[in-house]
Amino acid sequence: MKKVCSKCGELKSLDDFYKRKDRKVGVISECIICSKERCKKYHRTKDGLVTKIYYSQICNSKQKGNRSPTYSKQELKEWLFSQKIFHELYDKWKDSGYDKMLVPSCDRTDDYQGYSLDRLQLMTWGNNINKSYEDKKNGVNNKNSIAVISIHKITNKETEYYSMHQAERQTGIFQSNISKCCANKKKHNSAGGYYWKYSPTTLI
């Protein structure tokens, strides 16, 4: 069975349409290609960008076990549209040909708290990614890391590191070897002259 796409007018197989049970033939009126193109154009508008940002925040909150944003999509839109930098970032993104790294992005000033308007700051997606990396590297944001402890094999001196990445940077011992020791892997009871274990204060 085939159907004519309401957008491009081409006759296509029903497999070329998104399914929709409440429709007469079980699919939506426009084909998948046209549907994706429509969504793509919408998400490149300011309204569409707000929608994408808002539902991404809801999704991220659920994944990280945080509460949902304290504001509605309309309230977020009003806040974003009142920010001069939002319009400046949007124009630069548009002029770049919609470079993904330049798309306007909302970042929380405190990653340990949920989304609220008083904790939002605007930057490009690329800057947001770089900030997240630097925060984790510098220990500003280590909520997703598990602290580890090194125990010197001779002096028994213990040193705690907020993450395996930090331990590797400061000791020169590969993170993979530290991980194997902490996990009690066979033939890996020590690495670099130290015994290693997870810190009981952060291990869940």
Beta-strand (E) ranges in the chain? Answer: 2-4, 11-13, 17-19, 27-31, 104-108, 120-124, 148-152, 158-161, 194-198
What are residue 41's phi and psi, to 5 degrees? Answer: -65, -40
Q: Are residues 153 and 195 in contact, defined by beta-carbon separation less than 8 angstroms?
A: yes
pLDDT of residue 204: 39
Q: Which helix (H) or strand (E) holds 49?
A: helix 46-63
Do residue 24 and residue 81 come from a single domain? no
pLDDT of residue 37: 95
Do residue 27 and residue 83 come from a single domain? no
Do residue 55 and residue 37 come from a single domain? no
Q: Which domain-ending residue is among 137, 171, 190? A: 137
Q: Say if 59 falls within a structural domain.
A: yes
Q: Say if 32 falls within a structural domain.
A: yes
Domain of residue 78: give its range.
Answer: 44-137
Do residue 155 and residue 94 come from a single domain? no
Distance CA 183, CA 198 (A): 8
Q: How many structural domains compose the chain?
A: 3
DSSP 191: B
Do residue 10 and residue 36 come from a single domain? yes
Q: What is the separation of C-alpha 62 from the centre of its chain, rounded to a whole number of angstroms? A: 12
Do residue 130 and residue 152 come from a single domain? no
pLDDT along the chain (204 residues), means of 10: 94 94 91 95 96 90 79 97 97 96 91 86 90 66 71 93 81 87 85 89 46
Q: Say if 204 falls within a structural domain.
A: no
Do residue 133 and residue 157 come from a single domain? no
User: Within 13 Å, how many C-alpha atoms sit on residue 10's CB side?
Assistant: 10
Look at the alpha carbons of 44, 48, 54, 56 in this order and tell me if their dihedral is positive or negative. Answer: negative
Q: Which two tokens stand for residue 19?
A: 């399914």
Q: Say if 194 falls within a structural domain.
A: yes
Q: Which domain-ending residue is among 137, 172, 188? A: 137
Q: Cα–Cα distances in Å, from 133 out to 149, 154, 160?
A: 22, 35, 21
pLDDT of residue 183: 84
What are residue 139's phi and psi, to 5 degrees? Answer: 80, 10
pLDDT of residue 203: 42
Do residue 74 and residue 30 come from a single domain? no
Q: What is the separation of C-alpha 24 from the centre of its chain, rounded to a whole number of angstroms? A: 38
Q: Say if 51 falls within a structural domain.
A: yes
User: Within 13 Å, how many C-alpha atoms sit on residue 132's CB side?
Assistant: 16
How many Cβ atoms are within 10 Å of 141's Cβ, its own excluded?
Answer: 18
CA end-to-end distance (rounded Å), the chain: 54
pTM (2 d.p.): 0.63
Distance CA 79, CA 57 (A): 15
pLDDT of residue 139: 58
Q: What is the largest CA-CA distance in the chain?
A: 78
